[in-house]
Amino acid sequence: MHIPSILKTISHTLKTKNAKAVIVGGSVRDRFMGLQVKDYDIEIYGIFNIDALEQIVSQFGKVNIVGKSFGILKLSHNGKEYDFSLPRIETKIGHRHKDFDVICDSSLSYEEAFKRRDFTINAIGYDIESKNFIDPFGGINDLKQKILRHIDDNTFIEDPLRVYRAIQFVSRFGFTLHDSTFELCQKMINDNMLEHLPKERIYIEFKKILLKSNKPSIGFELIRKLGILKYYPELKAIINVPQNPIYHLEGDVWTHTMMALDEMSNLKTGDDKKDEILFWAILCHDFGKATHTRITAEQITAIGHEEAGIEPMHLFMDRITNERDLIKKIEPLIKYHLAPSQLFKNKAKINAIRRLSTNVNIEDLVLVAKADFLGRTTQESKSGIFEAGDWLLAESKKIGVSTKAPFSLLQGRDLIKLGLQPSPAYKNILHKAYEAQIEGIIATHDEALIWVRKLLNI
């Protein structure tokens, strides 16, 4: 296992004091999975108080002591951060995620110390000096078998967030949730143990499902099977909602949404902030079908579901985050998600594309619409070609509105130069000028000046 040189140096120093440094947790797991190791957590045995550990570690860089009361120190060295901790026993004493009674004890055996961890795959250690792996709960074999298994019933239930962590690990790694862990998670849900979780913590786990999974649908299907959708009625409402088989051979709205999520995973831009917005948009894009689907003898329709999906999207997102800017950016992607296909079908003119750009980022919209289009089982979708999106993106780029609305050619300073005194009328004049620009009546700044002179008879 690759060990940063600074950790080797610290380990050698600890050895002279009859102490031992053991790397634990995700870094060891990721090594076995062939993933890039980013964070190192080091547990120290043989040091019996956190002050003594701080004295040693502080020789090698700046130490952050925010977690000191929990037996944790953060060392900053050459721009990287390392977590050092003492073996400890944690006991839940309240509903909040920090409500734990922590007892540090460096005399604990590896099995006793690792028992507080959530899953066997996260309870593997690596002794830096002996270069041996420590695996008291069979985590290495579970990694080989791609099984996610909890360690201990009593310690697992002390942090209900572990239910969401189980889901995101299964989704990210393509693992199978062990039957015993599935049953325990389901019992915790049925016992309403998840109700006290802060939504900020849940939000982080959702983000990992969306951004780090090759198939986010795995995570959401597990959410459904475990019964967690009782907390998210907007998602639950799209299950068994039928769709027009002409456009949706795959089945109900839930099935389509799961397929579209997986398609979005293939369309990621690599910009996490942008990708997150796109994922939330595609997850919520058909919420309106729950209320606007109509079934007749001739057909199934969901007219107006785009606009109708805005309110349930807000309700759903409010359950998991207070990020108002994020929610605001999701809204137009839902409201206009059918626009690419509609404009293409109607052979829309340039001014319609220009107007669309004033309401939504067309480049982002095309990605959402493409995931929507490809997340189906029609022959057109199976081709992998979204002709409407390709057309709209190309046309919007030609006129420079693929990522932003046109810049207003007429400005307030122009009105001042024409001799107008600043007044509330400015806003109305500028609005009319911008509308003329969107319609293609005005194309240059000079044309804007001529247009406004005619409007004002000056």
Token pair of 74 as six digits: 């953060």
pLDDT of the residue at 97: 56
Tokens, residue 211: 């951004």
For residue 345, the tally of other CB atoms under 10 A from its CB is 10
Kindly report the number of other CB atoms within 10 A of residue 388's CB atom: 20
Alpha-carbon distance of 152 to 146, in angstroms, equals: 19
Yes or no: say if 23 and 40 are a contact pair by the CB < 8 Å rule: yes
Q: Give residue 286's pLDDT.
A: 98
Extended strands (E) in 46-199: 62-64, 72-77, 80-85, 88-92, 100-104, 125-127, 132-134, 147-148, 176-177
Other Cβ atoms less than 10 A from the Cβ of 208: the count is: 19
What whole-number distance in Å separates Cα of residue 201 and Cα of residue 161? 8
DSSP codes of every residue in 185-242:
HHHHHHTTTTTTS-HHHHHHHHHHHHHH-S-HHHHHHHHHHHTGGGG-HHHHTTTT--
State residue 421's pLDDT score. 86
| Low-confidence residues in the chain, pLDDT < 50 | none
The pLDDT, as a whole number, for residue 68 is 83
Contact 280, 251 (CB under 8 A): no
Burial level of 273, CB count in 10 A (0-12/13-18/19+)? exposed
C-alpha closest to that of 451 among 255, 443, 306: 443
**What is the residue whose two structure tokens read 């009319």?**
432
Element (DSSP H or E) covering residue 150: none
The kind and range of the H/E element at 40 are strand 40-45
Q: What angle do CA 161, 166, 168 make, to 5 degrees?
A: 95
For the domain spanning 5-142, the CATH number is: 3.30.460.10
pLDDT value of position 48: 85
**What pLDDT, on a 0 to 100 scale, did the predictor assign at position 92?**
64
Are the C-beta atoms of 6 and 13 separated by less than 8 Å?
Answer: no
SS3 state of residue 115: coil
**Distance of alpha carbon 20 from alpha carbon 10, whole angstroms:** 10
The reply to whether 5-142 and 160-231 are identical in fold is no
Give CA–CA dist 108/22, Å, rounded.
13
Structure tokens at 364: 């982002």
Specify the CATH class of 160-231 in words: mainly alpha
* Ranges of H-type helices in 97-136: 110-114
Indicate the pTM of the whole model: 0.92
pLDDT of residue 95: 61
User: From CA 438, how far away is CA 351, in angstroms rounded?
Assistant: 6
CA atoms within 13 A on the CB side of 78: 5
Q: How far apart are CA 84 and CA 162, in angstroms?
A: 22
Q: Are strands 300-301 and 294-295 parallel, antiparallel or unpaired?
A: antiparallel
Token pair 């550990």 is found at 53
- The full set of domain ranges for the chain reads 5-142, 160-231, 237-406, 412-456
With tokens 């939330």, the residue in question is 280
The DSSP secondary-structure symbol of 70 reads G
